[in-house]
Every structure is written in structure tokens, then in C-alpha cells.
Amino acid sequence: MDKHFLEFIGNCFISAAKGQKYMEDMERGMSRGLNGFDDQFEMFKKFYGLERLKDKAPDYPENWEKFIKDFKKLFIDYLGFFSMASFEEHLSLVNKYEALKKKADEQEKTIQRLQSRSGESLTGQEKIAENLQSLIDDQTHQFQKMMDSFGRFAKSSAKTSASRRKSHD
């Protein structure tokens, strides 16, 4: 993990511990992206050496984009420490969930069709199928809760990204 990034995040936490008002300001600033979040932005520039760069330098836009790209990657890695997923990972998990749900529904239909064809009382197999269905339902419910949580995170991340893009335009 990049030492500048960790130092930046560490100082954010130290600053946040200094008072509730500061934490509220930080939350407001995060919701607007880096705009209106001057203290953290200045700290970000300091730790990444951006304060030495001149705004009018010919390579400033390229350097700025590189720093932002690197910061986003490091932030996603940092979120991994808290078992949080990036927006892309979230979408991938949603797609996998939908595919598994569809597969489980198809398997349930197949089980029912085979049971009706056999015409026999499959009490042992029926119990297994019921237990399996109960397990699938429980896992689906737990997974849906996790996806809802990821959805809330992704929406807040998307809003932050959109506000950043608007500020760069």
C-alpha cells in the first residue's frame, strides 16, 4: 500500500477525531467530492507533491489525471480492508446473483417436473429438496441484504464521482 495514501487517510482519521463539527464538515465535503473540501484537498496535494506543480505547467493536466487515477485505485484497495466492494465489483456480484437466482428457479422447476412424472411419493427426496430450497432462500435473502448495502455504497460513490466529473468539466 502506498505510504502517501496511508498517511493521507491516517491524517483524515486523526482530524476527524478532533471533533464532531469537523466530522460533519468532512461528510458534507465528501458528498460534494473534492470541491468544497479544501482542507482535505490541500492535505491531499501536500502528501502527493501536487503543491509543487504549477497549474499552468504544460503537463499539469496529465499529472493531475495520473494522481487522481492512482488515488482512486488506492482508495478501492483501502476499501477492501473493510470488506467493501468497488462499484464495478458490486455490478459483477449483482449479475452473478441474478444468474444464480435464475439457475435456482430452473432447478426448482426441473425438480417439480421430475417429481410429478414419477408419480411416486418421494418423501426422502422431497425433504432434501425442501431443505435445499430453504437453504437457497436463506442465502438469497442474505445475499440480497448484502447487495442492498453495496447498492447504497455504489450510489454514494456514483454521486461523488459525478460531482468530481462536473468539477473537472
- Contacts of residues 139-145 at CB distance under 8 Å and 24 or more positions apart, as own/partner, are 140/101, 140/104, 143/97, 144/97
| Domain ranges for the chain | 3-84, 87-156
pLDDT, tens digit, 9 for 90 and up, residues 107-145: 999 998 887 777 655 567 778 888 899 999 999 999 999
Between 33 and 169, the more confident residue is: 169
Distance CA 2, CA 74 (A): 7
- What is the 8-class DSSP label of residue 160? H
Which amino acid, one-letter code, is at 96?
Answer: K
pLDDT, tens digit, 9 for 90 and up, residues 13-39: 777 666 556 556 655 655 555 455 556
Distance CA 13, CA 9 (A): 6
